[in-house]
Structure 1
Amino acid sequence: MISWRKHYKKGLIAISLLLSTGASVYAQGDPKKGQELFKANCTACHTLDKQVIGPALGGVVDRLKTEQNLDTDWLHKWIKDNKALRESGDKYANEVFEKFNKTEMLAFPNLSDTDIDDILAYTTDPPAEEVVADAASGDAGANSTAAIEAQKAQELNSKIVIAALIAIAGLLFWLLLKIRQLVKLQQTPELSELNTTRVTNFSAMYEKYSYVGKGVVALLALFALYGVWNWLMWVGVYKGYAPEQPIYFSHKIHAGENKIDCQLCHSGAKYGKVSEIPSLNVCMNCHRSISEYKGKYIEPGKDREFYTNQIKTLYAHAGWDESKQAYTGKTEPVEWTRIHNMPDFVYFNHSQHVVAGEQTIINGFNAKQKDPANKIDVVCKACHGKIDTMNVVQMANNFTMGWCIDCHRTTEVDMNNGYNKEYFKNLHDKLKKQYGEGSKITVDAIGGLECGKCHY
């Protein structure tokens, strides 16, 4: 009996040790720290709840233990250097590599064992998401307030229109009374005699006041010519033009909220004449792993589902199968509506302005701004406006010949720029003599107003 009790106690102790050891596997990491590490290192390829480039990682520790009888030591080796693990002949490591189209996972030798334990703790027991009061709620409140204000304004407008109609009706009634009085007055003998001396038709009036008539006609002709000339001068000027695009792309979210550099997508602006519209492959570099919108910013009148649907539209055009994480080969070109389009007879080189003129254009533009809020930090904004604040891109300037010339006359040339220092090496001494030592050399001084610079 005593022996049985001893074994019973030993069994209880063993079971309790086993349970505590099992619990420590999942308690040895900090899920909150793991969440931060996961977002910083893993979200490009993984989520907890669904497959993207890599598998879903929610419950990966339990899954690996149940299906493959592998513990967290295997995960440590895989995360730190999966290539070395595969080359060692590990069967499951090679199976995973084959299953995901031989897409090699990045190695993370910089992550400590504690960091990896934190990440695994997060995948096992993720902390509850904090409720964030984002722009959506603010927008909803703003929309309701705006709706009330709009209703009040509409009611006021209705009252004004009714009052105006009553006033017009009263005026018409008064005019009818006056006309009736005039008709009665015209029937008197004195007025009949006076009417015989008055001009009663247009030809007679023109003969009597021919000089005045010719002057009025000449003045009207001048006004008409000015109107035609002014209309011709604004042909092809589309400031404010903001067409609807086949895929809704918000520069405010990408360039503004997420701080994506303009030249990451428009790489041609730095290396060529045309800045180019980025191909869908550029979009898919990010959106292979970003399949739904989770940002805080939401434009009034829209919701996160709207933005997510636009990503799905991108997938359809690019031929991306989200479930298989592979391209189908069935693509459909996106028919973007062009906004900025220089005439064929105008030569404009983006790289010349972005590389050689970057800092001077920024400095020249900012020097003209009285309001600090209008100042710019990247050269693109000097011509295209504050793109990072636009949900729908619009033409921010006139892009007329006069607008370009004015910029060339006021923008100083940076002669210490590596490009200009070499290109205008022989001109430096001549410009110093012509304009004086230390004087401001603007673009027009180096041929910025020559017709052949911009016109073929």
Structure 2
Amino acid sequence: MISWRKHYKTGLIAICLLLSTSASIYAQGDAKNGEKLFKANCTACHALDKQLVGPALGGIVDKVKKEQNLDTDWLHKWIKDNKALRASGDKYANEIFEKFNKTEMLAFPNLTDKDIDDILEYTTNPPAPEPAATAATGTDTNSVAALEMAQKQSMNSKVILISLFAIGGLLLWLLLKLRQLVKLQQTEELAGLNATRATSFADLYRKYSYIGKGVLVILGIFAAYGIWNWMMWIGVYKGYKPEQPIYFSHKIHAGENKIDCQLCHSSAKYGKVSEVPSMNVCMNCHRNISEYKGKYMEPGKDKAFYDGEIQKVYSATGWDPASQQYTGKTHPVEWTRIHNMPDFVYFNHAQHVVAGEQAIITSFNKKNPEAKIDVVCKACHGQVDTMNVVQMANDFTMGWCIECHRTTEVDMTNGYNKEYFKNLHEKLKKQYGSGTKITVDAIGGLECGKCHY
């Protein structure tokens, strides 16, 4: 009896240890916190449901346990410092390293054991996605109401139009009847007077030729002004927004995801021209982003549309997301240019983006307090971070540039300007007073040779 009780107690202890071990592997973390940590640290190389740079991590705890009989302690060591784990001679760690083309995973010594447990819980039991916002239902209701309103307005317009035609017909009939009455009541004296009146445009012109010539002169002046004004706006395409071969929403990239303009348009800071980014720049991110998971949806667009545009990027670069390799079969993208400076005009982006950055931002915000900007690019190109399709936001005429040079104050606190224009600054203070503001035109901003050479 004593021996049976002893074995019974031992069995209970063993079962409790087994349960506690299982509990340490599963459901010991916070899946919601793990989701945040996973997105912040892991999504550059991993997804739950498919291989990216590294393997799919959905159910990784069970997989490692079943295939290698390894527990979460091994995963903790791998995540914190996989290089040290491989250096210790761990067989499975080195197998993974070889399998994924010796691509070294980043070490995460900053993650606590609790953080890693939360991440593993997320890979084991990811929380259900939040229910979609009910805005779509509201939109549908609004659309139906708008359609009904439009139909009512259309019917009202038809009734008004028919009524106007009826009134017009009635008025015409009355005029004809009045004309008949006038003819019946005409006297011989009135008939003789009518015979002396002009009955054609030629008679009228001969009788009042001096008035006619004056009218023609005035019309000629208006016509000349109209032609001149039309010619002055040749080449001005404010509002121009062509369709591109691959749909690219600046609102999603620059607005929703806060990507800096110069991350893609890097030459704007260092060169004359702000180039169209190469597709390799797109692949820096989209190598690991194969589908759209953002909350923002442009009206008329859905997730399938955005996913299709990402596939166009892959086709252009020859990227195979399944094998995570380039095939070498590329298809150049023929982008439609929006901003195109004439050949006879010199414009240097670096000069404005670097030397003139603070001065331009300050000047723009003074003139447009309701639309303040935080990036110098917006002064010329508009609020690009709100545009789904980029458009030409300003006239970009010579007068538009000159007006900017006349009103933009030079930043004299800039170390370069302070030294280079020191003598000019002193001269202007003596001439106009100590409170003189130096604008761009004062340092040669209106010289013809600055822009035309």
TM range (shorter): over 0.9
What percentage of aligned pairs have identical amino acids?
71
Q: 1:169 aligns with which of 122, 142, 166?
A: 166
1:85 is aligned to 85
2:62 is aligned to 62
| Count of residue correspondences | 451
Q: What pairs with 1:365-384 in structure 2 (closer than 5 Å)? A: 365-371=364-370, 374-384=371-381
Please state how far the C-alpha of 1:401 moved relative to its aligned partner: 0.9
Q: Aligned partners of 2:409, 2:158: CA distance in 1, in Å?
A: 55
SS in 1 for 2:26: helix
1:326 is aligned to 325
- 1:203-259 Cα offsets, whole Å, 9 max, x none, are 322211110110111111111111101101111111111212222211111111111
Instruction: For structure 2, list consecutive stretches of 5 or more residues without a partner in the other structure.
Output: none
1:224 is aligned to 223
1:209 is aligned to 208
Please state how far the C-alpha of 1:27 moved relative to its aligned partner: 4.1
Please state how far the C-alpha of 1:160 moved relative to its aligned partner: 2.6
SS in 2 for 1:290: coil
- 1:54-78 Cα offsets, whole Å, 9 max, x none, are 1111111211122123332322222
Q: Aligned partners of 1:159, 1:27: CA distance in 2, in Å?
A: 65
The range that moved more, 239-248 or 111-120, is 111-120
Q: Aligned partners of 2:136, 2:409: CA distance in 1, in Å?
A: 44
Q: Aligned partners of 2:27, 2:135: CA distance in 1, in Å?
A: 39
Q: 1:445 aligns with which of 439, 442, 447?
A: 442
Q: Aligned partners of 1:325, 1:386: CA distance in 2, in Å?
A: 36
- 1:162-182 Cα offsets, whole Å, 9 max, x none, are 212322232133213423542
Q: Aligned partners of 1:34, 1:376: CA distance in 2, in Å?
A: 36
Are residues 140 and 382 of structure 1, via their aligned partners in 2, closer, same or farther at CA, if it must alter by over 3 Å? farther
Which residue type is aligned with residue 289 of structure 1?
N
1:241 is aligned to 240
**Native 8 Å contact 1:186 1:192 kept in 2:** no
Please state how far the C-alpha of 1:139 moved relative to its aligned partner: 4.8
**Native 8 Å contact 1:412 1:441 kept in 2:** yes
Asked if residue 138 in structure 1 is aligned to residue 139 in structure 2, the reply is no
- Backbone CA RMSD of aligned residues: 2.3
2:291 is aligned to 292
Q: Aligned partners of 1:189, 1:37: CA distance in 2, in Å?
A: 103
Are residues 362 and 293 of structure 1, via their aligned partners in 2, closer, same or farther at CA, if it must alter by over 3 Å? same
2:384 is aligned to 387
SS in 2 for 1:427: helix
1:32 is aligned to 32
Q: Aligned partners of 1:150, 1:240: CA distance in 2, in Å?
A: 28
2:176 is aligned to 179
Are residues 76 and 370 of structure 1, via their aligned partners in 2, closer, same or farther at CA, if it must alter by over 3 Å? closer
- TM (norm. structure 2) is 0.92
Asked if residue 418 in structure 1 is aligned to residue 420 in structure 2, the reply is no
Please state how far the C-alpha of 1:6 moved relative to its aligned partner: 4.7
- 1:112-171 Cα offsets, whole Å, 9 max, x none, are 2332222222212223333353xxx32541353144134313422431332123222321
**Native 8 Å contact 2:250 2:390 kept in 1:** yes
Please state how far the C-alpha of 1:9 moved relative to its aligned partner: 5.2
Please state how far the C-alpha of 1:442 moved relative to its aligned partner: 0.4
**Native 8 Å contact 2:316 2:331 kept in 1:** yes
- TM (norm. structure 1) is 0.92
**Native 8 Å contact 1:139 1:300 kept in 2:** no
Q: Aligned partners of 2:431, 2:153: CA distance in 1, in Å?
A: 66
